[in-house]
Amino acid sequence: MGLIEQIEAENMKESVPQFNVGDTVKVGYRIIEGGKERIQNFEGVVIAKKNGGIRETFTVRRLSFGVGVERCFPLHSPKVAYVNVV
């Protein structure tokens, strides 16, 4: 195992829920404003999953006041507090 693979393995989350494209998920994303930290929820349908390993990302789409909103999340980011399948 190379140095890059070893560092990636150390930084990957161990408990990641299994979900696929088409599933409805609720994502908690950590936001730091000033000295305060809060968790913002984003609930919608998974429309894409890309890459693998530590670089894995997923895109969630929801409607907000009649406008479609898409947001891409890195799965193993420390800013992603949780991902729950609804």
pLDDT at 13: 81
Residue 60: CATH number of its domain: 2.30.30.790
Number of domains in the chain: 1
What residues are paired with 67 via a beta bridge? Answer: 64
Query: Per residue in 15-56, pLDDT tens?
Result: 888 999 999 999 999 999 999 999 999 999 999 999 888 899
**Pairing assessment for the beta strands 24-33 and 80-85 based on DSSP bridges:** antiparallel
pLDDT at 45: 98
pTM summary value: 0.85
Backbone angles phi, psi at 28, to 5 degrees: -100, 120
What does the alpha-carbon distance between residue 29 and residue 81 come to, in Å, rounded to a whole number? 6
Q: Which domain holds residue 51?
A: 3-85
